[in-house]
Amino acid sequence: MDDEILTIFCICDDLLKTLGYTDHPQAVMSNAEVMLVAIVAARSFGGNIAAACRWLNTSHWIPNMLRASRLNRRLHRIKDCFLTLFAIQSATWKTQCVSQIFNVDTFPIPVCDNIRIKRCQIYQDEIFRGYKASKRRYFYGLKLHLLVSQSGKPIEFFLTPGSTSDTKGILGFDLNLPQGSIVIADKAYNIYWYEDLLAEYGIKLMPIRKKNSKRPHEPWERGLQWLNRQTIETSGSLINQYLPSSIHAVTAEGFELKVVLFVLAFSLSFIFK
C-alpha cells in the first residue's frame, strides 16, 4: 500500500509540473497531495474524501491536512488534471494493445434509488431516467460509456444522462484507434451507416447481430465476439467494485467528478498488477 501511494503521488507531482502548475508559497497542501487524497479515496474508501483524509493524516503521509471545505475547493480547481492523467494512461494502454481488439459498452451510474427520485437535488429532469436492458431495471442518473482494450484497460469514456441510447452513445467516442482495429459491441450498436463510415478510416465496428440482420457475421467473427465480450463485462464489474452503494455528492459537478475518479482509479490499478 505504501508503494502504491508513493507511486500515485509521484505521478501526480510529475503531471502537475509538466502542466505548469505551481503551489502558492503559503499553501498548506500541495496540488499533488490534493490529487493523492482524491485518488486514494476512490481506490480504497468508496469515494469518501473525509475517510481518506483521516487515514492519510494518521498514517503521516500528509501531516498538514486541509479542512473539508477548503480541500473540496482545491479539488475542483484542478479537476481537469484528472482527465489529463486518464488521457496519458489511456494512450499508454493503447500502445500496449498489440491485438488491436477493443470492446465498448455502457453501464448505469445511479444517483439515487427510484423511490427517492422526487427528492433528488442533484438531477431533476426526466432525461436522467434510464433503462438497462441487460439488468431489466430502470435507474435514475448517468450512463458511463466505456471503451476498453482486449485486456480490459480503459481507453476512452464519457458520461451522458441515463436516457441516452447506446446508439447515440457510440457517436460520442473519438475512436482514435490504429488502422485495422476491431471494436466489438453488443446488439444495441448495429448502425450500418456508422460501420461504413468507420471502415473508411480502417476501423471495423463489429456489433453482435440480431437474428434478422441483413449483414450476418462470419462464424470466425462470432467466435471472436464470444471470446472478447466478457472483457468489457468484467471491466464494468471491477469499476462497480469501487462504487459505494450511494455516491455522496452535493452538486452534479461533484457527482460527475467522483465518477471520473472511480474510472481513473480503475485505470491506475493496472500499474500495480
Give the CA angle between residues 179, 185, 187 to the nearest 5°. Answer: 140
- Largest Cα separation within the chain, whole Å, is 67
Stretch (H or E) spanning 185: strand 182-185
Domains of the chain, by residue range, sit at 2-77, 97-242
- CB environment 162-185: b (16+ within 10 A), e (fewer): bebebeebbeebebebeeebbbbb
Q: Which fold has domain 97-242?
A: Nucleotidyltransferase; domain 5 (3.30.420)
pLDDT band at 231 (very low <50, low <70, confident <90, very high): confident
Q: Which position has the higher pLDDT, 59 or 135?
A: 59
pLDDT band at 1 (very low <50, low <70, confident <90, very high): confident
Q: Which position has the higher pLDDT, 221 or 142?
A: 142
pLDDT band at 27 (very low <50, low <70, confident <90, very high): confident
Percent share of the chain, pLDDT over 70:
100
Rounded Cα distance, 235 and 239, in Å: 6
The listed range with the strongest mean pLDDT (9-18, 24-33, 206-215) is 9-18
- As a whole number, the mean pLDDT across the chain is 89
Number of H helices, E strands in the chain: 9, 6
Would you say residue 130 has pLDDT above 80? yes
Sign of CA dihedral 133, 138, 144, 145: positive
Question: What value does the mean pLDDT take over residues 205-215?
Answer: 87
User: What count of other Cβ atoms lies within 10 Å of the Cβ of residue 264?
Assistant: 23
Could you tell me which of 76, 140, 153, 122 has the C-alpha nearest to residue 248? 122
Would you say residue 10 has pLDDT above 90? yes
pLDDT band at 213 (very low <50, low <70, confident <90, very high): confident
Report how far Cα 104 is from the mean position of its chain's Cα atoms.
Answer: 12
Per-residue pLDDT at 267 = 92
Would you say residue 21 has pLDDT above 80? yes
Per-residue pLDDT at 97 = 85
pLDDT band at 198 (very low <50, low <70, confident <90, very high): very high
Per-residue pLDDT at 241 = 81
Would you say residue 244 has pLDDT above 80? yes
